[in-house]
Amino acid sequence: MLRRSARWVLALVALGGSALAAEPVTPSPRALQGLDALYPDLDALYRTLHQSPELSLQEEKTSAKMAERMRALGFEVTQKVGGHGVVAILRNGKGPTVMVRTDMDALPMEEKTGLPYASKVQAKDAAGQSVPVMHACGHDVHMTAWVGTATLLARSKDRWRGTVMMVAQPAEELGSGARAMLEDGLFKRFPKPDFALAVHNSSSAAAGTVEIVPGFALASVDSVDLTLYGKGGHGAYPHTTVDPVLLAARTVLSLQTIVSRERNPLDPAVVTVGSIHGGTKHNIIPDEVKLQLTVRTYKPEVRKQILEAIERIAKGESLAAGSPRPPTMAVTEGTPATYNDPELMKRVVPVLARALGAQNVREGAPTMGGEDFSEYGRAGVPAALIWIGTVEPARHQAAQKAGETLPSLHSAGFSPDRERTLRTGVTTLVTAALELLGKP
């Protein structure tokens, strides 16, 4: 198995597994009793963030908003860590250091939700092109829950001891923001945390619920740029050429045998060719074709074997086609696999069940998506990323019955059930942080 069995999640909370949260949860811990009064401010913040998204590496105004909020709460704030990253520290005596992380960047997409507060922002991307911008992955939810968590922890210092370390991270969508912050001394200039927490939206779970995935939860992500070479010429005289388009077609098909025939079926992996570019006209055989691939794995040894297999197959197909030169291959590591510390998960599950209701804490499944929150765990910090549902419960139930696919993350139609989702995000992070911080 890739990860330990998570059946203990069910045992710990005695789940029925099918109940939906019909109303926003009223949290029980005393530190959360201020959430009702705080919620209107959080709702207004969410709408503001949703209407003013910024692309990766451009989060200047967003990070300034986060820093301003933290200063007003009495945190020691440092900006421009690893780009537009923000680190806010609140010390409250001796005890563990708990890091709570949010991401800040949005996506180059046109929003089509029809919401009255929908984004209409246009921005210049890295290539200088004007593109629409949208919070289609819910980083606006993450930031709002992060601010709510900091607010309630700052107001309940009589309930905990230790250090709260709030980290607002840039460039998650590029898979580079966490690494940039670490390289800028995140765990050297500031306290190295004993634990790291984060929440992430789930577009397939009902709002008011959370999903727990101990062990491997998200895959490593590698981007592969592959160039195949031929000998160009007239399309009417293919016998005088080496056709790289045909070579690319053969290569794409051969690459699919890596997962189906070279990998143990119990070690999940994905090899997807997402882009093929070659040629300029119907009757011209080009000199080269470029392919772009994404590779998703969990285990480092599986990642290594698949990348080696891609190179081997590309070289073999090129040799068989009589290519004038070997292919070139460049690999950009996006993010390592996200591993949720099982012992940390065991600690937070029971308290989440008490705060949210046992029926609303479920066992989730690993996915082949990627998240650079993984970098903090790889840096030696026990970490936990917890999924929070975003779908209005009745809508979720109806979609399940009908077999309907709901708008996913990174969809122009993604729109969370705002109040339930925000309340659940705050409740999850505050409850987990209080469990990990020292007791007075």
Spatial distance between the Cα atoms of 379 and 370, rounded to a whole number of angstroms: 17
pLDDT number for residue 6: 46
- Determine the topology of domain 220-335 in CATH: Alpha-Beta Plaits (3.30.70)
SS3 of residue 405 by DSSP: coil
Give the tens place of pLDDT for each residue, 313-332.
999 999 999 999 999 999 98
**For the stretch 308-342, what's the b/e string if a residue is b when 16 or more beta carbons lie within 10 angstroms of its beta carbon?**
ebbbebbeebbeebebeeebebebeebbbbbbbbe
Vertex 56: Cα angle to 53 and 62 (nearest 5): 45
The gap between the terminal CA atoms of the chain, to the nearest Å, is 41
Helices (DSSP H) in 114-217: which residue ranges? 139-154, 177-183
Arithmetic mean of pLDDT, 301-312: 96
* C-alpha dist (Å) from residue 137 to 105, 111, 371, 399, 414: 9, 12, 11, 20, 8
Distance CA(58)–CA(104), nearest Å, equals: 10
Q: Is the pLDDT of residue 28 over 80?
A: no
Looking up tokens 């984004």 gives 119
Q: Are 274 and 293 in contact (CB under 8 A)?
A: yes
Please list the residue range(s) of the chain that carry CATH number 3.30.70.360: 220-335
CATH homologous superfamily of 7-219+337-436 equals Zn peptidases (3.40.630.10)
Q: How far apart are CA 96 and CA 248, in angstroms?
A: 54
| Residues constituting the chain | 440
All CATH 3.40.630.10 domain ranges of the chain, comma separated, are 7-219+337-436
Tens of pLDDT along 245-296? 999 999 999 999 999 999 999 999 999 999 999 999 999 999 999 999 999 9
